[in-house]
Amino acid sequence: MLLLRVEYEPGYYVAFIRRLTKIRRETPIHVDVVAKKRTIFVMSLDDHLSASLLYAAYLKAKDKGLRADLMYARYIDEDLLPEEVRKAGERWLSKKLSKDEIELLKSRSITEHIFTRWWRWQ
């Protein structure tokens, strides 16, 4: 999966959504967009058509002077996930998480944990 992270700018976001909607009417494409707080995330599968649209979105963001980062997601073994994430996932199967548990999980990121452990394995 390819990932694009772009700083949020309303004009860029609206234009990209319109373009994606138009393209989807004409051809199947595997691209999703999520806007959260001050960031836009564009995700695509690794087929060349989807990747090309994501790259076009990256180039447009750079052209507009927005901060943009390209990333590539890859398979990880479940053992790389933090223990608290695995335990919370297991609990979530059988019951709801408490509000405190939810707030704690929302305040943390797994990225640094995974990258740190992943680099040790290399």
CB 19 within 8 A of CB 59: no
CB 35 within 8 A of CB 13: yes
Residue type, 114: I
CB 44 within 8 A of CB 30: yes
**Ranges of each domain in the chain:** 2-72, 78-121
CA atoms 97, 99, 105, 106: torsion sign: positive
The predicted pLDDT at position 11 comes to 96
The predicted pLDDT at position 120 comes to 65
Yes or no: is domain 2-72 CATH 3.90.550.10?
no
Stated as kind and residue range, the H or E segment containing 47 is none
The predicted pLDDT at position 116 comes to 72
pLDDT by residue for the chain (122 residues), tens digit each? 899 999 999 999 999 999 999 999 988 899 999 998 899 999 998 888 999 999 999 999 999 999 999 998 877 888 888 898 899 989 888 888 888 888 888 888 777 777 777 666 55
- Using alpha carbons only, what angle is made at residue 99 by residues 97 and 101, rounded to the nearest 5 degrees? 60
Tokens 């290399």 map to which residue?
Answer: 122
